[in-house]
Amino acid sequence: KAGVTQTPRYLIKTRGQQVTLSCSPISGHRSVSWYQQTPGQGLQFLFEYFSETQRNKGNFPGRFSGRQFSNSRSEMNVSTLELGDSALYLCASNFIGGGSYNEQFFGPGTRLTVL
């Protein structure tokens, strides 16, 4: 079974631009979560999608948004990029999304650099 894939792996943008990151979960997984990892703030939860609906949301500004498609693939978008958005963005998929979280399978991440 293929693992979680994220594209692109590396991205360089300038302040004010917007960016879209993509995540393909493991086949059969309907829950996709996004995390931001920075040296200063560590790993922070952005949001989680299940069956095309956002189920949970972290404490991030509205510039961060996401969506999930009917095939469970997910995208996250960051508009009006700021220097502080430079981070490793991780996507994780989860088979059992109905109730409790179980093992999350992480992708390799997208390294975003904002200049």
For residue 81, the one-letter residue type is: L
Q: How far is the CB of 90 from another protein (least distance, A)?
A: 6
Q: Provide the minimum distance between the beta carbon of 91 and another protein in the complex, in angstroms, as a whole number.
A: 9
Q: Report the SS3 class of residue 31.
A: strand
User: Distance between CA 25 and CA 55 in Å, rounded?
Assistant: 17
Match 């086949």 to its residue by tokens.
Answer: 27
The C-alpha atoms of residue 92 and residue 56 are separated, in whole angstroms, by 14
Residue ranges in contact with another protein by CB under 8 A: 4, 33, 35, 41-45, 48, 55-59, 88, 90, 92, 100-109, 111
Cβ closest to another protein, residue 19 vs residue 23: 23
Measured from the CB atom, the residue of 70 and 99 that comes closer to another protein is: 99
Shortest Å distance, C-beta 70 to another protein: 23
CB of 4 to another protein, least distance (A): 7
Q: Which lies closer to another protein via its Cβ, residue 12 or residue 18? A: 12
- Tell which residue, 80, 79, 92, has the closest CA to residue 36: 92
Q: Which is nearer to another protein, 44 or 79 (CB)?
A: 44
Tokens of 97: 């999304």
Structure tokens at 112: 């975003």
